[in-house]
Structures are given as structure tokens and as C-alpha cells.
Structure 1
């Protein structure tokens, strides 16, 4: 079914979830449902932010961009993963595998930068509210969004080019459901020290520094909230950043479990489950968290449904 000779790799066979013969159709149905809900939930947020006058602020522009990254991430991973599950393993071209890895890296870096920008936005809104409108105007908002995407595309492109220059040979089998970095490095026959050093260096500006910025901004936010005299004021201030804090905790928590904690002794099944968390589950949780915990979004959704009902009623009257 796949090559075992030591030859140059032109096709890669993804094993997916092995030894799940009795429940593989159930897994397929669950993950298909999650994918559909993820796309619908994130498209709902993009639509609400685009059409509702109640969500006309930088915070919601950033939220819509976060939804774009979530849709891109899950669409890059889930359809091929579902095909692998239903076929209990499937081949993929080497170029397709590299492309999947590239867009996976772009969306992860973009989400990391967007969450950092959103934490700075919340810092300005809570710690410096009088100057918030003058600092975080729509021009700066647009510049920050474009910058986050450009940096992500450029940095991951450099890293991907370095990987492509390596010599891939040997077994063309990846015991995973998508082309992640570690499985790709296992296929390289030449010295991978350059790639690993590059990954370590790129983690500093793309992961560690943004994480430090998020921690510092939330320390300042908590300090500012504690200085508010009334309990009502504290609750209102915290409610404006609680959704973002939940999303940040889930995002960095899963990345930490996968890429920072030692993988020695960790079974492949556990590794795949953790990978599912940040490639499939997290993009679903983001719109749910923001929808359930944000009054503005719930109000905008209610207004949109109310306007739609009025429009339908008016069309009925005209037809009668």
C-alpha cells in the first residue's frame, strides 16, 4: 500500500487513527459534525461583525479575523482527515503535504499574533479608556491585522523553504492525521539540526514574546480592575476581557502540551488527541465562547433575527 524501500519521497501515506475499526465511522461522524459547526459558527461571527452596527469597534474586527484563521485552519486539516478516517489511511502527494504544513503554520502564527493584538486592545480599553479611541483607531486596527498576516506568511515561508531543501527518503509513512512538523522531520535523511535550530529561533518572536506580552497586559488589566471601587464596575471591566482570556488559555495551553512538554513516553494516541484539540476543537470553541459570554454579539444576533422575521412577514404581506 505504501513504499518501504529507501527512495526519494514523492508520496506520503498518512495512517490517521489506526486500530479503530469498530468506531471509525462514529469518529468520522463526530468530527464531521464538529467541522460543520466550526465553519457555521465562525461564519456567523464574520457575518455579524460585517453587518451589525452594534459591533463596529476594533475588538470585533480582530474577532472576525480570528474567525477567518479558525476557518482556514480547520478547512486545511479536517476534510483530508475525514477522508483518512473513512479509508483508514490515505496517500497524499509530497507537495500537498508541504502545502498543508505551510498553511497550518501560517494560521497558527497568525492566531498567536491576533490574540496578542487583542490583549493589547483590552489593555488600552481597561487601563487607558480615555485615550482608547484616539490610539486604537480603525487605521491602526487595519495595519495591525495586515501586519499579522504578512509576518505569518513570510516567516513560515522561510521555514518551509528550509525544510524543502532537506533530503527526504526512506519510509514515506506518517503516523498522524496531518503533516505536522515532527512527523515531517522524521522523514528527513540529512542532518536536521539547521531546521530544529531555526524552529527554536522562530519560536522566540512568534510564540514566546507574544506570550510574554499577553501575560504582562493581563497583569496590568487585573491590577487596574482591582483598583476599581465598585463590585459592579469590576464585573463589567472583567466581562470585557473574560472571553479573550478563555480563548488565550485554551490556545496556549494546547500548544504548550504539544510542543513544550516532553514527548518521551507519550503514546501516539495521546499525541493525536492533543493535536485534535488545537486543530479541530479549539476553532469550534472560539465562536462558542465569544457568543455565550458576549452580550453585544448576542444582542446583534437577536437584532439580525428580528430584522429577518420582519422582512419575511413583509414579503408575505406583499405576496398576499
Structure 2
């Protein structure tokens, strides 16, 4: 393993505020990724399975269709196009290395590449959380204020909401990534995962990680609670006028409008929670 030696004093694992000084500290310059599974008989199956799942053409086709078709130039489809872009970007950061891990027993990734990968994963994950909350507000406006919908959800507001979500995502990504990679990482440099995720990388730090864990936990919980609250409140207001509808056909039509968004929310938040 390629390590760079430094004749400096640096902190190792500590208890409370006590530090143990270690001489000849070795700072890793790359990490070794073990992959998703070590069972050879499963690697071929997983490779085919994830190769079939991994297709950015569907999302790119959706973006192209929304852009080309004037009738789809509405706030709902605008947000759907942005969501497709986020999903495509997320997949391109994550899935290719996962597929490679099924073909190669172990992979090496440079320290800087690990930083970039984690930053992009965090950025797109945060952006998707925020966008799903924005889409819930869009559904609320559609059903509860149909006559004022285009006035409230103007093009300017839609663009502003997306730009704001990406700004917050970049800030959150910079905070979490900076919090992790300002720590020293020592031998061993083996990540028991197929990409540079926050928990497995943080586990390799050779200093006390209590402060970093607190920052990461607080950021993740705040993001999830904030977006979940917006989604739940929006759908609570949506259910009120739906329940007041006397026509079952009207109720079914209103619920079908929200069904796809609710499905995405259930899948997304059940996995990240």
C-alpha cells in the first residue's frame, strides 16, 4: 500500500480530551474498496442485475421530451425534469464503480477521487431531498389553489427554488466533506464498501471522531426533518379538499395526480432513513 511518511506528531484515538501522540505518522494517499460482496457466485448475478437497472437513457429521454414538448412546459414537469437530471447524475457517480467492483476483486481510489465522489454523492442526495419537498409544495398548490396555480408557481419562483436547493446542497456537501477529510487517515486504508460513503470513511480516521459525527448527524437529521415536515404538511392540506369532494371520480383523479410523487417519496425516504 502506497503511504506517505511524515515525521510529525499527530493525534491518534483518544478518550475524552486525552490525546496520545504517535511519531512517524503515516497519512494514506489512497483507499482500497472491497466492493459490495466477496462471494464470487453472486458477483455475476449482481453485475447483470445492476447493469439492467443502470440506464441513464430513461432520465435523459424524459429531460429531452420535457424540453421539446411545449405542452409539458409546466412547473410540475419542470421539477420532474430536474429530478431526472439529479437521478442521472447520482447514478453516474455511483453505479459505474459498483459494476466495476463485480469484475475486480478490490479497487483502489485516490484520496482526492474519494473526496470528489463523496462530495458529489452528498450534493445530489441533498438536492433530491429538497426537490421532493418542493414538488410536494407544487402538488399542494395544484390541488388547493388551482385558479392561482400559475400565478403562485411562476417560472421565476420555480427557477429560484431549484437554484436555492442546489445552493444549499453545495453548502451541505462542502460542510460534510470538509468535516471528514480534514481528519488524518492512517493505515489500514481499506473501505469495506463499494464507494466512499460517509460512515465507512469516517471509521478509518485515526483521531477521535465525536465532533465530526455530531456535525454529520445534525446535518442529516435537520435535512430529513425539514423536508419530511414540508411534505407531510403539504399532503395534510391536500387531503382536506380531497375528502370534501363528493365525487369519487374527482377524488380518484386528485389522488392519481399525487400517486407517482408519493411513491418516489416512500422509496427514497425508506432507504435513506
Q: TM-score w.r.t. structure 2 length?
A: 0.88
Taking the aligned partners of 1:21 and 1:2, their CA distance within structure 2 comes to 27
Q: Secondary structure at the match of 1:242?
A: helix
Q: Quote the offset at 1:19 in angstroms.
A: 3.0
Q: Quote the offset at 1:29 in angstroms.
A: 2.1
Q: Say whether residues 1:225 and 2:242 are aligned partners.
A: yes
Trace 1:121-136 onto structure 2 (pairs within 5 A).
121-136=138-153
Q: Quote the offset at 1:203 in angstroms.
A: 2.4
Deviations 1:37-75 (A, max 9, x none): xx0111111011101122110011100100111011110
Identify the match of residue 33 of structure 2 among 5, 14, 17.
14
Q: Say whether residues 1:119 and 2:140 are aligned partners.
A: no
Q: Does the 8 A contact of 2:127 with 2:165 survive in 1?
A: yes
Q: Give the superposed CA RMSD.
A: 1.7
Trace 1:63-102 onto structure 2 (pairs within 5 A).
63-102=80-119
Aligned to 1:107: 124
Aligned to 1:273: none
Deviations 1:207-234 (A, max 9, x none): 2111111011111111221111111111
Q: Secondary structure at the match of 1:13?
A: strand
Taking the aligned partners of 2:247 and 2:44, their CA distance within structure 1 comes to 54
Aligned to 2:267: 250
Deviations 1:11-31 (A, max 9, x none): 101001333212322321221
Taking the aligned partners of 1:53 and 1:133, their CA distance within structure 2 comes to 15
Aligned to 2:17: none
Taking the aligned partners of 1:206 and 1:23, their CA distance within structure 2 comes to 35
**Paired positions, count:** 253
Q: Say whether residues 1:27 and 2:43 are aligned partners.
A: no
Q: Quote the offset at 1:170 in angstroms.
A: 2.2
Which runs of 5 or more structure 1 residues have no equivalent in the other structure?
257-320
Identify the match of residue 52 of structure 1 among 51, 69, 81.
69
Q: TM-score w.r.t. structure 1 length?
A: 0.76
Taking the aligned partners of 2:156 and 2:104, their CA distance within structure 1 comes to 48
Taking the aligned partners of 2:228 and 2:51, their CA distance within structure 1 comes to 32
Trace 1:229-240 onto structure 2 (pairs within 5 A).
229-240=246-257
Identify the match of residue 155 of structure 1 among 172, 191, 202.
172
Q: Quote the offset at 1:204 in angstroms.
A: 4.3
Q: Say whether residues 1:197 and 2:197 are aligned partners.
A: no
Aligned to 2:198: 181
Q: Quote the offset at 1:160 in angstroms.
A: 1.2
Structure with greater proportional helix content: 1
Q: Which runs of at least 4 in structure 1 moved beyond 4 Å after TM superposition?
A: none
> 1 or 2 for the larger relative contact order (CA 8 Å, sep ≥6)?
1
